[in-house]
A and B are shown apart, each in its own frame.
Chain A
Amino acid sequence: MDAQTLGTLSPLRLERAPPLLMAAGLIVWGWQNGLMLYAVPMALTLEATRWVAWRWAVTDREFNLVSDLSSVIFLIVVLYVFTDKGAKGIFVLLSLMPFVFFLLLLVQMYSEAGRVRLSALFISLRRLDPRYSPEARAEVDLSLPYFVTCLVSASAGNRYEDAFFFVVGILLGVVLWTVRPRRYPPALWIGTLVLATALGYLGQVGLIRLQWAVESSLMQVFDRFLWRYRDPNRATTAIGSIARIKLSDRIVLRAKTPQPLTRALLLREASYDTYSYGIWSNRDYEFISVDPDITGTIYALSPVPTRDRITLSTYLIEESGVVPMPLGATRIGDTNATAVDRNSHGAIRLEARKGWVRYTAGYGDGPDPDAPPEERDLKIAVSYGTDFQRLADRLGLDALPPNLAVSAVRDFFADGFTYSLTQRHRYPRGRYLTEFLFETRSGHCEFFATATVLLLRAGGVPARYVVGYAVDEYSPLERQYVARARHSHSWAEAWVNGAWVTLDTTPSVWAPLEDEQASAFEGLFDLWSWLAFNYARLRTSDDREEESDYGALLWLLIPLISVLAWRLYFKERVARGGKPAAAAALRSRQGMDSSFFAVIAELERRGFDRRPGETVAAWMDRLRAQSGIEFSSEPLALHYRCRFDPAGLSVNERHILDAEVRRALTEFARRAIANSLPGTTSG
């Protein structure tokens, strides 16, 4: 009979996860997401199958039911999370995945079959005829995929970056160890795994760098075309340019107030003191940093008590930028900025990582602590000097005390001036203001502001030009106030009795008129802007909003789960069979004390396996033929007599057998060393 090795092993498939691996996966998930309260009982329930014996005989229909239920749960969770969180919901969903599939795993672990049919998971397979489509009958063990899901869900927690990598590495290493091919020595496996881990570590560091590089180049493209920034030393006005002033609808600023605004709120970005041919400018005033308080989160700007606050978000395209602040700002808090600077002319500059910056500005009733006026705050350029002087004289501003002068200027502009965005006529350079003042009496806010400042200066009141935004529009989509590019505004501030006072002479109808400029596509652009804003917020991952309450979700699931439990409970519960029936009664076996067994054991230890149906003699023959192992036939014959001859061996023959065995063993050992026969260990 040929010596053959027979194998009738089952096809390769994914096996049950090793003990406690699923529990480890769940614990990691709970650890990362702060859901340990749920993870621990889930882990215990799943792993308890190793100690608890009873099982349910779950039919195909019941598996289908559980699978469908899991899909329904999944859909409900998806809907809830996305309506609550918006686009950010995808990561919340990721962190909830172990919940969604827990039921399916539970049923699998406690079922008799221990595996789930593919047709339960994929509806399209349920209707196929198994005669023609054998994959309808295929089964799968979900424990390892569930473990992987737990790991990927754990990554959504986004904490403990350094520890997470190695924890995942260790757990995956455990999984790989169980499927390790036996043909390689463990040292090779360990080496490969270590190499893979090292590569992975370098890879993940590389991925972070890669993302930064990609993002910064993207952002530069992004920023160049989408966002404006305020230069604290130079503001270009539209005075002197023909055509219709049209600033875009682009939302540049978002504001959230605790109470709704009763009227438009002015936000100041910077003030300038030198005007020349349509450009207001400053000397390069130094920015001085503002120190935060002890907590490190609040930057005090003025000692005036805070009456109200407003939370603003806007974009910085560089590492720092000037941001709009409410008038009378007292402090900045709750910001993702890393530093706050201010200059003497009221510009507040925040330093933050490029991108979206958010800050809460508190403001009060006091004046802005800008630097007191200097000579240039009274200076008017020569070309305008005469006209404004004339007007100032006409109004008698010199004689008036400053506050009355301010009122007089206000009254002057309130009477007979209209707001307009169009400049039709072309004038020589430097004539536009004069024409505005005396002829047309119509213009946009920059005209009004510039004229006001120059007029006040002509009347002997130091004044500066201020640019900023007017916040008035509430966006229901964003549930906060928005300021668009066309909401940018200019006004004047005058030095009255030792403090700077705001004077806005632009007719108040300007806002509605601006709104009429809204384009038809504003809604669409707003949506895009909102998405971009949220994307920007996501990127900086700085969401301090309250976590939504998931209690409502649980209430929805409880009735579903109780229905399922009721259905399964009232089905038969099949007790898992106890230990198999005791093995057949031991047959009497004679001669089991033959010393030849030592030879058999030695050969097996060296890796020469005997097939179950192979007699010792046939095995020896095979070994001789294949591996050249020689044994003298004497001990084998004696062993056979010892075992199979009812007459057995005499005492003398026993001694002979023992002696022969000893000799054979030593001979074998000697030859083994000489020929360096493989001493392969099993396993």
Chain B
Amino acid sequence: MRSADIYQAIADNIGKVIKGQQPAVRRLLAAFVSGGHVLLEDVPGTGKTTLAKALARSIDAEYHRVQFTPDLLPTDILGVSIFDQRDQGFHFHRGPIFTSILLADEINRASPRTQSALLEAMAETQVSVDGMNYNLDPLFFVIATQNPIEYHGTYPLPEAQMDRFAMRFHLGYVEAENEIAILSEQNRRHPLDDLKACAGKDQVLALRRQAADIRISDEIKAYIVDLIRATRAASGVLNGASPRASLALMKASQTLALFDGMEFVSPDHIQELAVPVIAHRLMLDPQARFAGITARSVVDEVLRQVPVPI
């Protein structure tokens, strides 16, 4: 199958379960295929868990869910070495992180130590425990969630750590007709239970390789860099986006181009992903925050002002 069709199949499959969230699904798949991780910042009950499960089912991949609580320890995620009396040796019991798709629910409720354990593992794609390195799944993909409203008992991720996520976006509440459709469909059985796989892990890995082959002209690269640099110069921003952001934006745009069946990246792809990729990496001046500037508004402004290649 052509890559665009593979993507479309997966998206449609997920769409059977998650209604009315096509743009979010598109972004999620773009991050997934490009090898980045996703932070979903959303109010409870919008279907984040369902989304992760649907994705895992669609590509027949392993799926784990970790509920972050204040007393969660790093070993609870990574795994722990247990002394086996019979062998008189330590055996490493793998934690939930050794999976294809990990849903880290309410990551902001764990202590900073636990958060960094996960984030480091994400960055290095391997876990070091007791001097031994254990590699993670090649398709390792983290969907972390954060509840933006609650603050009681939370440790919001510091901006420096946010950089590790390729994208941050939210699902949000759906349109009325979609919500009605949800009620109709989930009356007796959850559609998730009936979901079948429509692609395989190796196909996804192939997509990843193909995405890296998508052509991108120097002018588009220069446009990406212009955007990133503009965020550094924007007013109210203490720390703009890093080159990691440019990389993430490029890779994700290539993936989108692949999904659209194009062989090259167009400026529209860049603009579609600019806010999800860049906004969460900006460190705003606290005064600016109190003056009403948000990261999203900064990126929107940059998109408007920086001349786009025509």
Chain A positions near chain B (C-beta within 8 angstroms): 1, 4, 6, 587-590, 600, 610-618, 640-641, 643-647
- Quick check: B217 and A590 within 8 Å, CB to CB? yes
B202 to chain A, nearest CB (A): 28
Q: Top 4 closest A-B pairs, CB basis?
A: A645-B264, A613-B304, A615-B267, A646-B215
Residue numbers in A under 8 Å from B264 (CB-CB): 641, 644-647
A608 to chain B, nearest CB (A): 14
B263 proximal to A (CB < 8 A): yes
Closest to A618 in B: B268
Q: 15 new A-B pairs (CB below 8 Å) besides A1-B303, A590-B218, A644-B264?
A: A4-B304, A589-B309, A600-B310, A611-B304, A612-B306, A615-B271, A615-B310, A617-B266, A641-B264, A643-B309, A643-B310, A645-B217, A646-B215, A646-B217, A646-B264
- Quick check: A612 and B305 within 8 Å, CB to CB? yes
Complex CA–CA separation, A4 to B268 (angstroms):
16
- Quick check: A618 and B263 within 8 Å, CB to CB? no
Majority SS of interface residues in chain A?
loop
- Name 30 A/B residue pairs within 8 A (Cβ), A-sorted: A1-B272, A6-B304, A588-B219, A589-B219, A589-B309, A590-B217, A600-B310, A613-B271, A613-B303, A613-B307, A615-B266, A615-B267, A615-B268, A615-B271, A615-B308, A615-B310, A616-B310, A617-B266, A643-B309, A644-B219, A644-B264, A644-B265, A644-B267, A645-B263, A646-B215, A646-B217, A646-B264, A647-B215, A647-B263, A647-B264
Complex CA–CA separation, A450 to B76 (angstroms):
142
Closest to A616 in B: B310
Residue numbers in A under 8 Å from B220 (CB-CB): 644
* Interface size range on B against A: 20 to 34
Residue numbers in A under 8 Å from B271 (CB-CB): 1, 613, 615, 618
B216 proximal to A (CB < 8 A): yes
Residue numbers in B under 8 Å from A588 (CB-CB): 218-219
Residue numbers in B under 8 Å from A645 (CB-CB): 215, 217, 263-264
- Quick check: B309 and A612 within 8 Å, CB to CB? no
Chain B positions near chain A (C-beta within 8 angstroms): 215-220, 222, 263-268, 271-272, 303-310
Residue numbers in A under 8 Å from B267 (CB-CB): 615, 644
Complex CA–CA separation, A641 to B264 (angstroms):
8
Residue numbers in A under 8 Å from B222 (CB-CB): 587
- Quick check: B217 and A644 within 8 Å, CB to CB? yes
Closest to B220 in A: A644
B10 to chain A, nearest CB (A): 25
A334 to chain B, nearest CB (A): 76
Counting chain A CB atoms within 10 Å of each CB, which of B217, B306, B310 scores highest?
Answer: B310
Residue numbers in A under 8 Å from B309 (CB-CB): 589, 643-644
Residue numbers in B under 8 Å from A612 (CB-CB): 304-308
Residue numbers in B under 8 Å from A617 (CB-CB): 266, 268
Complex CA–CA separation, A646 to B222 (angstroms):
14
- Quick check: A590 and B266 within 8 Å, CB to CB? no
Complex CA–CA separation, A452 to B271 (angstroms):
119
Residue numbers in B under 8 Å from A640 (CB-CB): 266
Counting chain B CB atoms within 10 Å of each CB, which of A587, A613, A646 scores highest?
Answer: A613
Residue numbers in B under 8 Å from A616 (CB-CB): 310
B309 to chain A, nearest CB (A): 7
Residue numbers in B under 8 Å from A1 (CB-CB): 271-272, 303
